[in-house]
Amino acid sequence: MELTVGAVLEGKVKTITNFGAFVALPENKTGMVHISEVANTYVSDIRQHLTEGQDVKVVVIGAENGKINLSMKRLEPKPQRENSQRGSNTRPGGRPQNAQSAPMRAPTPPPAPKTADQLFEERLKQFMSESDSKLSGIRADHRTKSRRR
């Protein structure tokens, strides 16, 4: 039996390492599931997800130079994100695909305008920091000039 990419197989976990797990496949072949291909969530310790001797279902994602790359997470359904940055839950017109899955939220009001006192404080802080940097530059110049004499 030739292993082709996309083939779903049953196997048994032989060895677990920090970077993945080696799985015994049919016909005395061995493939590896990289730690990033174990689950749809972040896996910091593979031993929390797999044990040696465990029967697993895997899919072949690559087979080159006698090495067989496997995945377990590609057989799991992808987790649904409730609120995506890219707006994948909206149609091209900007309307939600399913109004029940994405509740409408009231837009947040813009921040209140700054008062005259707040504006003055900001300008004063800016002036003070610019002044301090100019003074430190002048002092550095004065020190180097006095040493040259």
Q: What is the pLDDT of residues 98-137, one digit of tens each?
A: 545 556 677 777 777 778 888 888 888 889 888 888 888 8
Give pLDDT, residue 60.
Answer: 92
Q: Residue ranges per domain, the chain?
A: 8-75, 114-149
70 contacts: CB under 8 Å, gap ≥ 6: 9, 11, 23, 31, 32, 33, 37, 58, 59, 60, 61
Q: What's domain 8-75's architecture?
A: Beta Barrel (2.40)
Give pLDDT, residue 45.
Answer: 92
Quote the distance between the C-alpha of residue 67 and its chain's center: 27
> pTM of the entire structure?
0.53
Quote the distance between the C-alpha of residue 90 and its chain's center: 22
Give pLDDT, residue 47.
Answer: 93
- 34-83: per-residue pLDDT in tens? 999 999 888 899 999 999 999 999 999 998 888 999 999 998 887 777 65
Give pLDDT, residue 140.
Answer: 77
Give pLDDT, residue 122.
Answer: 87
Specify the amino acid at residue 149.
R
